Amino acid sequence: MATSTATPHGNERNPGVALRTDWFEQAAVNTQAAERRGATLTTRRTVKKEWQAAWLVNAIRCIDLTTLAGDDTPHRVERLCAKARQPLAPHILEGLGLDSLQTGAVCVYPTMVPAAVAALKGTSIPVASVATGFPTGLMPLPLRLAEIRYAVDEGAQEIDIVITRAHVLNGDWQALYDEVAQMRQACGAAHLKAILATGDLKTLRNVYKASMVAMQAGADFIKTSTGKEGVNATLPVSLVMVRALRDYRDRTGFRIGFKPAGGMKSAKDAIAWQILMKEELGNDWLRPDLFRLGASSMLGDIERQLEHHLTGRYAASSRHALA
């Protein structure tokens, strides 16, 4: 088990616990009920006008602004970091009465970490790096651990790892636990976000079990998807994962973060996932130390909606380019 340390917001970091299969082996998930809950989440609660603007501003604070393309360059990363430092146009920021605003993090490939660190110097925005053979994770474990250490040595403060899906599909919980525990150790002081690739796990029961094992092994966050699977973040899957978060907190006292990622593109999506967090876990989970949105393209629509809130008019989407 890892050593527990304090987070920037004062939360004690999850040290992990010994593998306890009795915490999840008998867990039952009502798939139809989860799907109904997801479908009605936004129909039972709506936010309008200044309340909607406040929720959208909070979403920006929680976005992991990301570029994970094969043609990434340091210059592209620098532009993305400039957007992370100033995610809203000055006239929108002024109209909302805000002095400053920044995104939750910038997420890049390991080789792009130095460019991001340099571009974000002087800010409190952390650099996150994917690692461990992202997005499939189908690399020998020693190489995956080496990739984590490389990204941390380059300056990454958060590491988004991918698990071996076969361990979940085969029910080999000890192998999954050992893998994530070694990854957590390789991260050192950097926080570990465990990507479960839920679209590959077949059942919601598997999602719950994988969530619990990742947390037992010391994950600081659990994350739905790489964004590269056929099915990425959905509200039913997210509901199961946040229920696992709640169960883990009730058993251990430690609060673990949640990051839905992939497939979320609109301001409406940003509000839907925040409603989920508020209703299931409370306001504490609406802060960037416990909640992130892995959806860069969402920022453009959020900025467009906030300008509409101020002016009553929708601007062309080209006015709010990501970078």
| Domains and their CATH numbers in the chain | 21-317 (3.20.20.70)
Q: Which of 83, 193, 209, 259 is catalytic?
A: 259
pLDDT band at 48 (very low <50, low <70, confident <90, very high): confident
> Chain centroid to CA 20: how far?
25
pLDDT band at 43 (very low <50, low <70, confident <90, very high): confident
Whether omega before 288 lies within 30 degrees of 0, making that bond cis, reads no
DSSP for 152-197, written as a single string: HHTT-SEEEEE--HHHHHTT-HHHHHHHHHHHHHHHTTSEEEEE--
- Are the C-beta atoms of residues 211 and 241 closer than 8 Å to each other? yes
> Chain centroid to CA 221: how far?
7
Q: Which of 64, 160, 200, 289 is catalytic?
A: 160
DSSP type of residue 220: S
> How is residue 233 written in tokens?
């973040």
Model pLDDT, residue 2: 59
DSSP type of residue 13: P
pLDDT band at 46 (very low <50, low <70, confident <90, very high): confident
- 48: Cα within 13 Å, side-chain hemisphere: 2
Q: How far apart are the first and last CA of the chain?
A: 40
- Whether 48 is catalytic is no
Q: What is the pTM of this model?
A: 0.93
The b/e string for 249-282 (b: 16+ C-beta within 10 A; e otherwise) is beebebbbbbbbbbbbebbebbbbbbbbbbebbe
CA 93 to CA 204: how far, in whole Å?
A: 40
- 130: Cα within 13 Å, side-chain hemisphere: 24
- Of all residues in the chain, the percent with pLDDT exceeding 70 is 94
Sign of CA dihedral 90, 93, 99, 105: negative
DSSP for 230-241, written as a single string: SS---HHHHHHH
> How is residue 60 written in tokens?
């920006």
Model pLDDT, residue 219: 98
Average pLDDT estimate for 246-260: 97
pLDDT tens-place string over residues 95-143: 999 999 999 999 999 999 999 999 999 999 999 999 999 999 999 999 9
Residue with the two structure tokens 């997005």: 135
Q: Which of 83, 193, 209, 223 is catalytic?
A: 223
Q: Please, which residues have CB within 8 angstroms of residue 123's CB and are 6 or more apart in sequence?
A: 85, 102
- Whether 160 is catalytic is yes
- Whether 259 is catalytic is yes
Q: Which amino acid is at 59?
A: A
pLDDT band at 317 (very low <50, low <70, confident <90, very high): low
127-130 and 191-195 strand pairing = unpaired
